């Protein structure tokens, strides 16, 4: 066994005695007979072999035995600061981690942190992803990870912009399918309860219909289509039927009686209707909403 390996075993034994971690002062005190150069070589070897992990507490580097069940994918050819940041970003998974949280965990000053992040980005080890929840902020994650839907917004967002028209088209097509199903059920000649049952369709049925239409340039899964079906329900044009198995079926419902004129006209939902009078700044004659509605 070479000398560096023997020093490594001494460092491991010391780390076992102090599970909270050891610093350079602990190593210098326990390995007084070991030259600093050899101590550094042994430390780097243990870090590269993922026996130890490196953390930062204040301005002090801490070395701790790595949990055998927690394997890091950090490359061996990165320096200690890059390794610290890489491991922090790795813990964020596909939901990423804000730069503020990285700074708190690493205790690096902002200028140095930005430098290390840039180095890791240039090496294509991590990437910055904009979040739909905060467009001016970025989260960092490992380069090869696909961001979680909570970050990208899923199928309904393109470059952080909500695709309202796309959602409307899907809403209309889902409703069309439900109504077609209802019309077929009505033509079956069955009784009312049987017609209701025949009108029901699963999310898988709707997904198949939308896929066959080919109106989406991106791949939509059943969860995406269920989200759209819920909007049809919220519009009052369909209902959701719970199943014993725990799932749901959907069916179109008859459009209720048309709303009376007062509800349809702007006055029915006007927030300043209480201030409306024959004279003054708010009057029916000056109301642009009524003019537009009448046109």
Whether residue 56 contacts residue 62, with contact meaning beta carbons closer than 8 Å, is answered with yes
Q: Does domain 3-65 have CATH number 3.90.1150.10?
A: no
pLDDT at 47: 78
pLDDT at 257: 60
Q: 66, 84, 83: which is closest to 19 by C-alpha?
A: 66
> How do the domains of the chain map onto residue ranges?
3-65, 80-153, 164-252, 262-294
* 3-65 against 164-252: fold identical: yes
Name every residue whose Cβ is closer than 8 Å to that of residue 292 and which is 6 or more positions away in sequence: none
pTM of structure:
0.49
Q: Does domain 80-153 have CATH number 3.40.50.620?
A: no
pLDDT at 256: 62
CA distance 7 to 264: 83
Residue that has been written with the tokens 């049925």 in this structure: 205
**Radius of gyration, CA atoms only, the chain:** 32
CA distance 215 to 170: 8
Q: 257, 256, 253: which is closest to 182 by C-alpha?
A: 253
CA distance 147 to 265: 45
pLDDT at 272: 75
CA distance 88 to 142: 10
Going by DSSP bridges, is the β-strand pair 238-242/161-162 parallel, antiparallel, or unpaired? unpaired
Question: Does an H or E element contain 100, and which?
Answer: helix 99-106
CA distance 209 to 230: 17
DSSP, res 107: -
Instruction: Tell whether the torsion through CA atoms of 17, 22, 28 and 29 is positive or negative.
Output: negative
pLDDT at 121: 92
Whether residue 196 contacts residue 251, with contact meaning beta carbons closer than 8 Å, is answered with yes
pLDDT at 293: 77
| pLDDT tens, residue order, the chain (295 aa) | 578 888 888 888 888 888 888 888 888 888 888 888 888 888 888 877 778 877 777 777 888 887 765 556 677 778 878 888 888 898 888 888 988 888 888 878 889 899 999 999 998 999 988 877 666 678 899 988 888 877 777 777 766 677 788 888 999 999 999 999 999 998 888 888 888 899 999 999 999 999 998 888 778 888 889 989 999 998 889 999 998 888 899 999 876 665 555 556 777 767 777 788 888 778 888 888 788 877 7
DSSP, res 177: H
Which strands, in side-by-side order, build the sheet including 134-142? Answer: 97-98, 134-142, 126-131
As to burial, measured by CB atoms within 10 angstroms (0-12 exposed, 13-18 middle, 19+ buried), residue 49 is: exposed
Q: Does domain 164-252 have CATH number 2.60.40.10?
A: no
Whether residue 218 contacts residue 155, with contact meaning beta carbons closer than 8 Å, is answered with yes
């Amino acid at each position: 066994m070479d000398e560096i390996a023997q020093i490594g075993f001494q460092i491991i034994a010391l780390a076992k005695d102090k599970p909270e971690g050891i610093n350079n002062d602990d190593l210098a005190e326990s390995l007084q007979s070991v030259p600093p150069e050899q101590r550094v070589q042994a430390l780097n070897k243990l870090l590269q072999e993922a026996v130890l992990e490196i953390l930062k507490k204040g301005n002090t580097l801490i070395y701790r035995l790595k949990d055998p069940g927690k394997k890091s994918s950090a490359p061996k050819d990165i320096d200690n600061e890059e390794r610290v940041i890489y491991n922090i970003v790795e813990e964020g998974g596909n939901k990423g981690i804000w730069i503020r949280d990285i700074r708190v965990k690493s205790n690096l000053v902002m200028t140095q942190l930005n430098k290390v992040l840039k180095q890791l980005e240039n090496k294509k080890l991590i990437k910055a992803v904009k979040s739909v929840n905060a467009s001016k902020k970025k989260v960092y994650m490992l380069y090869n990870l696909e961001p979680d839907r909570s970050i990208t917004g899923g199928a309904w967002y393109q470059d952080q912009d909500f695709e309202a028209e796309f959602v409307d088209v899907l809403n209309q097509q889902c409703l069309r399918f439900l109504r077609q199903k209802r019309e077929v059920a009505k033509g079956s000649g069955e009784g009312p309860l049987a017609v209701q049952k025949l009108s029901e369709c699963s999310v898988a049925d709707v997904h198949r219909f939308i896929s066959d239409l080919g109106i989406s340039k991106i791949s939509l899964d059943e969860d995406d289509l269920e989200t759209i079906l819920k909007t049809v329900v919220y519009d009052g044009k369909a209902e959701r039927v719970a199943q014993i198995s725990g799932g749901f079926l959907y069916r179109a419902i008859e459009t209720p009686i048309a709303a009376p004129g007062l509800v349809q006209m702007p006055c029915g939902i006007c927030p300043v209707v209480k201030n409306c009078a024959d004279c003054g700044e708010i009057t029916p004659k000056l109301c642009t909403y009524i003019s537009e509605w009448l046109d």
